[in-house]
Each structure stands twice: as structure tokens, then as C-alpha cells.
Structure 1
């Protein structure tokens, strides 16, 4: 494996708690190099899952955090000017296609639609990436796979994937785990007791019931891990919860009071 791609290997096993049959289904999809879409709310484990699968399969993982300013050149590459003149520099998608990495486009719906169109030739039988500025056609490496993550909760007419894009992917649905599994995850990741982890999960479950009733998003597993990490460091649980679970997700005084009351119920 070349040094250029070797840096993207996931060397240490990421902790991932299997919830259903998602690992087996993903392995089957990878065996036929099916492009995959991971759908689910923010902070529910989509990125950790793909890191775990890249480690399990022994494949390099190149992650791109998509945003509305991202251009097609940011993905495929561009000419750069240096002391010796102009040179071509591959973008992350081109590197993944050349060397056989998994390319993970995180929150792809944030990217402009004219940018996401560049992935189309890689997600059908052609498996090619045209570098139009360079006049090159990159044939995807046999190990190459493209994976996107997508939060259906943020769908709107302005920010949604085209059907012509969606139908190129297989999809796995992710959600926040069941109470006992999420408790296990929080306890493992933070070192708090199972009792405290369970209380944090119960707070999150109450907040998730408010989604669409004053909250755009519920409290994620990631946020619970932040709270547990602070508690492990000796921060008083009420203060840790206010800082990591309540203040980040709402500025509405009434909603904050409701969430603070939920925290006070358990701590």
C-alpha cells in the first residue's frame, strides 16, 4: 500500500456496539462494492459505524465533511501553482478512487447539488471519475467504495438529495439505540457507572420526545458521552448536563426550563 493512502488506514479498533444486522448487511454490500447511504439523526453513530467497518475490512477510510461552500474541485482535485509551475493535486474522492479506499461523504446533503453530481459516474456500472480539468478518466480501484451519510430530519426542498442520486445507493437506517444498549455505550465510552449512564439516557429520551415540539433535534448519543466524560472528571452531574445536554441544543428559555427540569428529575 502506498504511503499516500496508508495514512488513511484505521489502525485501532473503534468501539462500535452492534444494534441489529447492520454489520452483516454492510459487509455484503461491500462485497459487491455497492454505494451505501447511512441515514439517521445527528450523533447516533453513523460515522463511528463506518470507521469500525473500515477497520474490520482493513480498508483505508477517507472522510470528507461536506458543506455548502464545497466545490466539485474540492472533491476531485485541482491544478496548483508552485515554484516549478503548475501541478495537479488529487482531491479526496480521486485519491480514494485511485488507491481503493472507502470514501465517506459526511452529511452529503449539505453540499451543493452541482457538487454531488460528480459522484454519479462512480456509483453505477461505469465506476469512473472524470477529471475534466486534467483530461483524465480515473477507473476506480476494485476496492473502492463510496459511502454517504444523510440526516432525513434536515430534509427540505432546498436541502435534499435528488432522486437520481438517492437511487444509486443502498441504505441503512440508524437511530438512537434502545435504552439498555445506549446505556452500555455511554458507560463504556466515558467510564461512568451503568446507573449514571442510564440516567443520562433517560434524560435524552425525554428530550427526544420534544423533537418537533420546540426542538429541531433531540439529545444525541454523542452529547451523552460528553456529559459522562465531564462527570468522570469530577464535574457535578447537574452542571455537566446543563453544559452538554441543554445549552447546546436550544436558546428558548421555556425549552431550557423544561430540559433543566428533566435533568433535575434524575440528578
Structure 2
């Protein structure tokens, strides 16, 4: 016997945060997001890894008093992972909604993080949701769902990191309002670090100067630059009692590259911008 359970199989979407997640605006992005959301427009956030896109969406969901369902996209993500599939339970087969379907039914914001990591045939299912129709066809059930009031679709990706083979289809792009993100201005990034990591303004300023130097580098072995996220991690280690140079080494320099030459250069920069030799690092690379 086959049954379609569209109530009990769907867990409740997460409720909005009690307190607003820390996000400091750098321009008009909050106004633009809320205007697009109120008009039922889908949104794509474009910007480097770790610049605050996810935190921004969390803050917007809080401000708009909407549940937020986040999906971290990857190469193996299938349409069924987003929409749902049949499961065998207690000898019967029942339908279980995926996160996208839950959001459509419940009027939640569905955030697909790094959407281009998913296969392009998977993202095609977003098209009728992302345009004026605001509908989700579920072929396996033979139904089409109209998005509940309050539903919002938000995608994000890093255009500087993706290859030609991993990019957002033009047919998807033109259904979206695009909001560009970059790293915050130095004074804003310092404020974020003092709030998030609990460090002094002086320590935050040191980490930000170090990150800016890395961001100016043009090195083939450096695929990504120091993000606000890794600066926060370093700051938290410093707040825990680690020396700033050690925190910078393990939270900023080490994750950015496995190339020994690049690593040596980053460690020399730690000496310049943070100070001293990191413990356990031979002097020959200082």
C-alpha cells in the first residue's frame, strides 16, 4: 500500500532566532533584500567565501520573522534531496518532503548555499519557483504546489571560485535579483571581530591588517584569501589564550594553502603583521 503523508512526514521548519544574528550592513543590501522578498522575487547572493552571506540571510530571516531552511549544496545533491522521496516505514511506503518542499508548504525562506556545487539538472527544478509562477512541480506525486505566503528562495555562490563547468545557468540567473557581496571595510571588519570573537580592538585591527595583505596577494597556489570567517576563528583562539601569531598560523595561514612555498610566505607575513615566530615553526622559513 502506498500512502502520501504530507503532514506527519514533514518536520516543522526551524523558528526564527530569538535574538538577531550579528550582521553589520556595508551598504544597501538589507533594503534591497527586503524589497525583493516583499515582491516575491528570488535572490542570489554573489561574493567570496566567508564574507558573511550566510549570516546575512540569517539576519534577514529574523527581521522578516520567517523560518529559515538552509541546504549546503554539493556534487551529489539530487532533485530528490531537495524535493523529497518515498520511504519504506512499517511495511508501507510514504512520501517524505525534502527541505525545498517543506519551505514551499510552510512559507519559509529556503537558502541554497553554494548552489553551483549542485548538478545543473538539479537546479532546473528551481525555475518555476524562481519566476512569476512560484510553483513547485512534484512529478513523483503528480502534483504542483503553489508557494505558501512568506516563501522565499535565496541562492548563494562564489563567482571568483567557480570554473566554467560550475556556474549558474543563464536561465536561472535571469530569474533572480542579484546582490553583490565583498569583504567589509576595515573598520567594520574590526567591529565584527571584537563582537564575534571577544577580542580587543587593537588585536582585531592587527588581524584585519594581516588579512588585507593576504587579499592583495596574486599567488597561483592561493585559491582563496583570508575571509572574515577565518579571522573570527583566529580571534576566538586568541580569546582562549593562544598567542596571536599561533592563532594566525593555525586558523588563517594553514587552512588557505597546502603549498609549502605559499605556506612559507604566509608565515613570513605573520612575522611582519602579527609579530614573532609561531611556536613550532622552524626559523629557516621566517
Contact map agreement 1:39 1:150 (CA 8 A) in 2: yes
1:46 to 50, 53, 64: 53
CA contact (8 A) 2:14 2:68 kept: no
1:8/1:62 contact within 8 Å kept: no
TM-score normalised over the length of structure 1: 0.96
Unmatched 5+ residue regions in structure 2?
1-7, 276-286
1:27-64, CA deviations, whole angstroms, 9 ceiling, x for partnerless residues?
Answer: 11111011000000000000000000000110000000
Is 1:143 matched with 2:189?
A: no
Gaps of 5+ in 1: none
The alignment status of 1:27 with 2:22, answered yes or no, reads no
> What's 2:221 paired with?
214
* 1:142 partner SS: coil
Aligned pairs for 1:38-117 (under 5 A) are: 38-117=45-124
2-structure distance, mates of 1:172, 1:211: 26
Q: Is the 8 A contact 1:211 1:218 kept in 2?
A: no
Deviation at 1:10, TM superposition (A): 2.6
CA-atom RMSD in angstroms: 1.4
149 and 159 in structure 1: CA distance in 2 versus 1, 3 angstrom threshold: same
**TM superposition score normalised by structure 2:** 0.90
The answer to whether 1:122 aligns with 2:139 is no
Aligned residue pair count: 266
- Offset of residue 153 of structure 1: 1.0
State how far apart, in whole Å, the 2-side matches of 1:4 and 1:89 are: 9
The alpha carbon displacement at 1:81 in A equals 0.4
Contact 1:35–1:169 (CA<8 Å) still a contact in 2? yes
Please state whether the residue corresponding to 1:246 is helix, strand or coil. Answer: helix
Larger of the two Rg values belongs to structure: 2
Q: Distance in 1 between matches of 2:189 and 2:53?
A: 14
Mapped partners of 2:219, 2:121: distance in 1: 30
1:134 to 138, 141, 144: 141
